[in-house]
A and B are shown apart, each in its own frame.
Chain A
Amino acid sequence: MRASLVESIGSPDRIVEELKKASDRVGAVCLFIGVVRSTSPLGRVVRLEYEAHEKLAEEVLRNILKEVCEAHGVIDGVIEHKVGRASVGEPVMCVAVASEHRREAFRAVRELVERVKAEAPIWKKEVAETGERWVEETRREPLSLRLRGLIEVEVHEPMTARELVERLGMKPGEVLVMRKRAVLRWEDLLGEGDLVKVVPHDPATPGE
């Protein structure tokens, strides 16, 4: 597993070869590359400028990679993220995983991309022909209410317990997810048709 900040994203071929070498069980390599687009609310983009807390960012990227690979049962993974200036069309992020089958690879890559964008201390400034701005990701604000009773949820597509809670607009620390009376870990995978309960949780309350 490798997660790093780089001045330029490595070639996809090299990354695919690196992942294929992880094991002869590899049957799928799934790779996402983010590139600089020319459009922005400011108008035509000239470049992006990436800044990071380099020590923390690499640590966060490594932790995300480890957690997601374990959660989805993929064999190996790579994250590369650009720092510095990037021109339109330039690759700025590569997330890739190797797994036995395609499904877990797709799921893992999707979660990795979302978590890298939301959690790693990396920031981008858009420099356009008409001005510049620090980009702010649009995220759902946490709910300004608290779950008082349990809710029952039927899952219609595979996702982790963490994804379920976040899609409901809640934070993992505020609730627990239970399946057949067992409290799930946030990385536990829910399958299509699973029935789960989301219950309020106060970490300060003993015994919960």
Chain B
Amino acid sequence: MFRLYAKFREQLGTSRVELDLEDGATVMNALGELFHGDVPKGLMVAVNDRLVEDVDIRLREGDVVDVMPPASGG
């Protein structure tokens, strides 16, 4: 399951998405599908509540992936 935050939630019109990914799909594969190939720069990704920097890691059945815009707090 993919959870979307802030700008991404509004852009994609939903806060949660299920993607039908091939076995062995990576985070980057999923982001490509989610954003139709135009993956925004600087986004943050967490898998199962842990921030990940390597978008080439493989996803597993049941993973919860948070897709978040670059930070803009303060």
Contacts and interface: CB of A to CB of B under 8 A. Distances in A.
Contact of A93 (B42, B44, B69, B74): B74
A117 interface: yes
Interface of A: 34, 50-53, 55-57, 60, 81, 92-93, 113, 116-125, 134-137, 139
Nearest to B69: A123
Interface of B: 5-7, 10, 42, 44, 46, 49, 51, 66, 68-74
Given A56-B46, A123-B69, A137-B72, 11 more contacts: A53-B66, A56-B49, A113-B74, A116-B73, A120-B71, A122-B73, A123-B72, A134-B6, A135-B72, A136-B69, A139-B42
10 contacts: A34-B74, A51-B6, A53-B66, A56-B51, A60-B51, A121-B5, A121-B44, A121-B51, A134-B10, A139-B42
Contacts of B74: 34, 81, 92-93, 113, 116-117, 122, 124
A55 B49 contact: yes
A124 B70 CA distance: 11
A40 to B, nearest CB: 13
B7 A123 contact: yes
A125 B6 contact: yes
